[in-house]
Structure 1
Amino acid sequence: MTGSPAGAADPDPPDPTVTLPGDVVGRYEKFSRFNSPYPAHRRGRAVDLYPGDDIGRSPVAGVVREVRTVGCPDRPYAADEDHLIVVDLADEWCARAGAPPGTVARILHVIPEVSPGDRVTVGDALGPTTRSGFFGRWVDDHVHLGFRPPDADPLRASGSLPVAVDAPVEPVAWDGTGTVVERAPAHVVLDGPRRRGSSRSGSGPAFAAFASDEGVPLDGGLTHYAGGGTFGAVGESAVAGDSLSLLGTRIGTAVGHGGEAGSEPGAPRVEWAPVDVLANGERVVGLSLFAARADRVGVKVVCPDREFDIGESVTVAVVSSDDPIRLGVG
C-alpha cells in the first residue's frame, strides 16, 4: 500500500498544462514562452505569439467574457495603457489543448474590437496590436496569451496554468558572426544562418531557433532576463539538470517547467549563468531568442547604448561575468 504517511495531507495535484496545437501556433511568425521578465513567462505559464502584420488574431475559440483597459508602466516609446480580453474557452478547444472544461484565456496587447458576448474562433481578428509600457523598447508587437483554471479570478495573472506548445523547433547552429540587416533605437538584427528545413517548401518543421552548443534550441532574453528556456526540439532536447553552453561558454542549467524538475520533458526553462554578451568586443544588453518561421534565423542583438551600421560585420561572444546585466519589470 502506498500513499501519504499517516496524518499527512495528500499533496495537491499538479496544475494541468494547456498545450497549444501546432496548427494554431503556425498562424504566427514567431513565438516565445520565456522571452520576458514577467513572472508568468519566467515560470512557463504564458506564451507570446508574434503575428507579423500588426493584427491581433485570436489563438483560441470561445466567447468573450470581458474586455478591460489596464494601466501599464510609463515609457516614452509606448502607449500608456494596455488592454485585457478574457475569453471563456469552447469545450472543443479545451479538449484539443488538454485544458479542463471552463478554462479561461487571458489575451493582452491587443486594442479590442470585440465585445462581451462575441463568439471568436482561431484566427479571428480581435483588433490591432498595441505597443504598451509592458514592452522593452526592442520587443516586437505580439499577442500575450495565458490561461486561468475554472472558477479562478480571470483578471489576475498569478495562478495561471502552465503552457506548452505542440510544435517541434529545428535547432540551428550559429558561429557568432553576422551582418547588420536591420537597425532600430534599441536593437539590431544580424543575418543569421539559413536553416536546413524550410517552412515555405514544406520540408522540416515550421519553426526554427538558435541552438546551444549541445544542439538544444534556446528561448528567452540571454541573459538580460533572469531566466530563459528551451523549445521542444527536432533532435536533441534538454532535460532538467543539463548544462548548456553557447559559443564555447556555459550559459546555464536546464530546470523543470516553472521549477518542478521533469514536469515538462523536452522544453524546460533555464537558469542563466552569470555571463555577458559582447558584440565586436563591447558589452551589449543581450540576445533576444525565440522560434521563428523564416528560412534564415535572424539574430536580434539588444544594444540601446551601442550603434551599428547597416552592412556592418558583427562578431558576438559570450563571456563569464562578475556583474551580469539583469533587467527587472519596473
Structure 2
Amino acid sequence: MVTLSEAVVRRYDRFSLYNSPYPAHDAGCAVDLYSGGEVARSPVPGEVLETRTVRCPPKSYAADEDHLVLVDCGDVVARVLHVDPTVEAGERVEVGDPLGKLVRSGFFGQWVDNHVHLGFRKHDQNLRRATGSLPLDLGVAVEGVPWDGTGEVVEAGPTHVQLDSPTADGRGFAAIASDGGVPLDGGLAHYTGGGALAATDGAVSLLDTVVGTADGRDVQWDDVAVWVTDGDGRRVRATGLSLFASQVPFGAKVVFHEGHDLSVGDRLTVSIEPTADPIRLG
C-alpha cells in the first residue's frame, strides 16, 4: 500500500479513486487529481526516469496523443498521465513543481475535466503497462454530504449538467453520501465499479434505492438507471452520476453521454431505479 499524504492531496481541488472505466483504477489503485488551470504540478518528489508519448482513442474534443511520465520516488516509481511534459529524464522534481501542461486526453469522456492521473509501481514491475499499480491510500478524511436528489443547474456542458446541491462548507474534502452517510466515488452506474471513501460492507443505497454492494472501499454497482425530472414534469434518462471528493463548493454532476437539452436555471429532481437495461460505458 502506498500512501499519498494529506499535505499533497490538499494541493488539489478534487480527487477520484474510482471514477474511470480504465482498469488502472480497479480497486482504487490510481487517483485522478483535479486542480484547474493549465499547468500540471507534480504530486510526487523524485527523479524523472522517462517520458513517453502514446496514442489516444480518437475524440473530436480531445488530443490524439497522451503522455506517460515516470518518476523514481525511491521505494516506488510514480506513473503520471495526461501531462504534456516539459521535464526530461534525469531531472529532479519536487512536489508542486511544474511537469508540463495538462492534456485534454482522448481517454476522457467529454464531461471529464482535465486532471493528473497518478499510480505507483515497484521498480521490478512493468512500468509502462496500464494495469498493475499498487493499492493507494489517500491520507485525508472525506465527509459524506446528504442529498435529496434536487438542485438547480448552474453549469451545462454538451454531455453533463452540474447542480447547485448538495453543498459543503469547503473546509475539507466532501462527497455525496449514501443513505447511510458513506461518501461515494465513481461513475454511478455507467462504470462497473465504484468506491466508498470510508470503508463499509454490504448494501449501499442512494436516494432510497440500493445501488450496489460494498466490500471495504470497493463497490460493485447494481443494474440501476438514473432519471432526471425537470420543473415541467418531463422525465429524461441520464447516463449516470459522476461522483468524486472535493474541498471546494460542489454539486451533483449528472452525465448524458449522448447529449441533453437542459439549461442553466432548470430545476431538476434526480431519481434512481433498478433496471434490466443498464448503461455501461466501461
Matches within 5 A, 1:1-330: 17-89=1-73, 91=74, 101=75, 103-195=76-168, 197-199=169-171, 206-232=172-198, 238-240=199-201, 242-256=202-216, 268-280=217-229, 281-294=235-248, 296-303=249-256, 304-328=258-282
Q: What displacement does 1:163 show?
A: 0.9
Contact kept in structure 2, 1:74 and 1:80, CA below 8 Å = yes
Contact kept in structure 2, 1:111 and 1:130, CA below 8 Å = yes
CA separation of 1:138 and 1:198: change in aligned 2, threshold 3 A: closer
Q: What displacement does 1:151 show?
A: 1.6
Instruction: Name segments (4+ residues, structure 1) moved above 4 Å.
Output: none
Q: What displacement does 1:40 show?
A: 1.7
* Separation in 1, partners of 2:279, 2:244: 19
Q: What displacement does 1:160 show?
A: 1.2
* Separation in 1, partners of 2:264, 2:132: 44
Q: What displacement does 1:221 show?
A: 0.2
Question: Given residue 209 of structure 2, which amino acid in structure 1 is its aligned partner?
Answer: T
Q: What displacement does 1:36 show?
A: 0.2
RMSD (Å), alpha carbons: 1.1
* Separation in 2, partners of 1:215, 1:31: 19
After alignment, is 186-195 or 107-116 more displaced? 186-195
Contact kept in structure 1, 2:158 and 2:260, CA below 8 Å = no
- List per-residue Cα deviations over 1:152-175 (Å, max 9, x = no partner): 221122221111111000110001
Gaps of 5+ in 2: 230-234
Q: What displacement does 1:150 show?
A: 2.1
- List per-residue Cα deviations over 1:199-234 (Å, max 9, x = no partner): 2xxxxxx210000000000000000000100113xx
- List per-residue Cα deviations over 1:286-307 (Å, max 9, x = no partner): 000000011x331111013321
Match of 2:232 in 1: none
Contact kept in structure 2, 1:174 and 1:210, CA below 8 Å = yes
Partner SS, residue 111 of structure 1: strand
Question: Given residue 67 of structure 1, which amino acid in structure 2 is its aligned partner?
Answer: T
* Separation in 2, partners of 1:221, 1:158: 19
What TM-score, normalized by structure 1, do the two folds share? 0.82
* Separation in 2, partners of 1:120, 1:184: 35
Q: Which has the larger radius of gyration?
A: 1
Partner SS, residue 82 of structure 1: strand
Question: Given residue 88 of structure 1, which amino acid in structure 2 is its aligned partner?
Answer: D
* Separation in 1, partners of 2:117, 2:176: 22
* Separation in 1, partners of 2:246, 2:139: 15
- List per-residue Cα deviations over 1:267-303 (Å, max 9, x = no partner): x110001100001121110000000011x33111101
Question: Given residue 228 of structure 1, which amino acid in structure 2 is its aligned partner?
Answer: G
